[in-house]
Structure 1
Amino acid sequence: MDAAEDLFSERGFERVSVRDITEKADANVAAVNYHFGNREGLVEQVMARYINPINEERVARLDVLERRSGSKPVPLEELLDAFVRPFATQVRRSELSERMFYKLMGRIFGDEMPRLPDVVLRGFEVMLGRFRKAFAKALPEVSSEELLWRIHFTVGAMIHTMAHSETLNHLSNGDSGQPSMEVTLSRFIRYAAAGMREGVQIAEVAKPKGNQDEFLF
């Protein structure tokens, strides 16, 4: 698993063979079939190992926010924080470096995979269903169709940020700096909130209250 994750992060899922993985892991090809059934089974387990905990934490954070808000909508910035922050908390629990973790996330969502495996897709369906309702409650003026596209654009920006932050640093000759994860999250949330809220008239923009990690950890 560790060898597969390293290789998938660096090369992408379609460019890594079973032999590449077993050579790096100092194992034989039969071990992949024994433990995972085939290469596709190994890919599914790598995805599930990282994506399922993120989606579970997203839902857990949303549960906390909705209980606290009662019948009122959860502020948009807090919803976005609950949606993206689990990537930061899960990277701290991962054995991968931060760089490799985000590259792997970018590969999972950005590579041209036929579809997400069922073991991952089920969690996504639950999570996205919950967040779609919460975003709709926070932005009642936005139509259902428009809201789906805004969520889609937000997810796309998040994937690009994870997969290509090194590219930005290189192309800008270092002008983009080396921001901490908290700085990057703050920038992303401000940017995403502006796009999600575009055209909506509001009296006051709510700001996240305190450190969101205190709600769960």
Structure 2
Amino acid sequence: MAAALRVFATRGFEAATLKEITLTSQTNVAAIHYHFGSKEVLIQEVLASVANPINSLRLELLNSVPEGPERTLVHVVRSLVAPPIQLSLDSTGDARLLTRLLLQARALPSEFTSTTIFAQYDATAQHFVRALMAATPGLSQQDAYWRYAFAIGAMHYIVSESDAGHHRLQRISGGVCDTSDPDAILSQLVAFVVAGFQASTPSPVEPNAQGHRVEPLHLL
């Protein structure tokens, strides 16, 4: 499992071979077929091994404050993003590789990997969208889903920034932004996402005479 996680994160689900995984784990292909039956089942088990602990921590943190006025938007957002960031920046853990896996799957999607990833995250996503709406009076369901997606995208990007060989933000900021500091990342990301959820609903985009959608003049 650990070897498969490393190989999938490095090579991608499609390009990775069972031979590479067995060489890394110093086992043989028969062991994979015996324990998992196929590469597809191995992918499912690997994703579950890293996604389930993160999602469990998210829900545990969210439920540490009961539903009601005491459950603030800051608490909900922090519950959503803190576990992935804190675990991903733990250099001794496998959670760092999860972001790499998800980015690989986004860049080179397939029906199987997409369905497998959805199975790990959809229920948790729905739970958090409801919590975000409850903590943001007046937020429509449409806006909640859009902003949830943007929050997840921002989180994945900043986690990937801390990966070895990246640190672009740290470089262009002259070291002012430390992308290896989980506390700094978390405080900035929570503030950013909370502000996004509290933002007003955007005005509708009107089509012009040629049928192209253009921003209303007052938004330019």
Q: Residues 87-118 of structure 1: CA distance to partner in whole angstroms, max 9, x if unpaired?
A: 245458x8x635x632332323552243242x
Once residues 179 and 126 of structure 2 are traced to their aligned partners in structure 1, the CA distance between those partners, rounded to angstroms, is 35
TM-score normalized with structure 1 length: 0.76
* % identical equivalent positions: 26
- 1:165 deviates by 3.1
Pairwise CA distance, 1:58? 1.4
**TM-score, structure 2 as length reference:** 0.75
TM-aligned CA distance change 1:110 to 1:158, over 3 Å: farther
Q: Which amino acid aligns with 1:56?
A: S
The equivalent of 1:97 in structure 2 is 92
Match of 1:47 in 2: 47
Change (3 A) 1:50 1:113: farther
Whether the 8 Å CA contact 2:5–2:97 is kept in 1: the answer is: no
How far is 1:122 from its partner?
4.9
Conservation of the 8 A alpha-carbon contact between 2:147 and 2:196: yes
The verdict on how the C-alpha distance between 1:122 and 1:104 changes in structure 2, with shifts beyond 3 A counting, is closer
List alignment gaps of at least 5 residues for structure 1. Answer: 201-217
2:147 alignment partner in structure 1: 150
Q: 2:130 aligns with which of 105, 130, 133?
A: 133
Q: Which residue of 1 aligns with 2:74?
A: 77
Q: How do 1:132-211 and structure 2 match up within 5 A?
A: 132-166=129-163, 168-170=166-168, 172=171, 175=175, 176-199=177-200
CA displacement at 1:169 relative to structure 2: 1.7
Alpha-carbon deviation of 1:3?
1.0
Change in CA separation of 1:74 and 1:57 when aligned onto 2, cut-off 3 Å: same
- Deviation string, structure 1 residues 41-78 (Cα, Å, up to 9, x no partner): 1111110001011112212222221x2xx532621111
Q: C-alpha distance in 2, partners of 1:60/1:80?
A: 13
Contact 1:73 1:134 in 2 (8 A): no
- The alpha-carbon deviation at position 37 of structure 1 amounts to 0.9
Cα deviation digits, residues 16-37 of structure 1 (max 9, x gap): 1111101111111111111111
Using the alignment, how far apart are the partners of 1:13 and 1:123 within structure 2? Answer: 16
Distance apart, 1:79 and its partner CA: 0.6
The alignment partner of 2:64 has SS state of helix
Structure with larger Rg:
2
Give the one of 98, 103, 107 matched to 2:101: 107
Tell me which protein shows more helix as a share of its residues: 1
Name the CA distance, whole Å, in 1 between partners of 2:198 and 2:39.
Answer: 43
Residues 183/191 of structure 1: CA separation in 2 closer, same or farther (3 Å cut): same
Q: Distance in 1 between matches of 2:58 and 2:166?
A: 27
Amino acid in structure 2 at the alignment position of 1:194: A
Distance 1:24 1:123, change over 3 A: closer
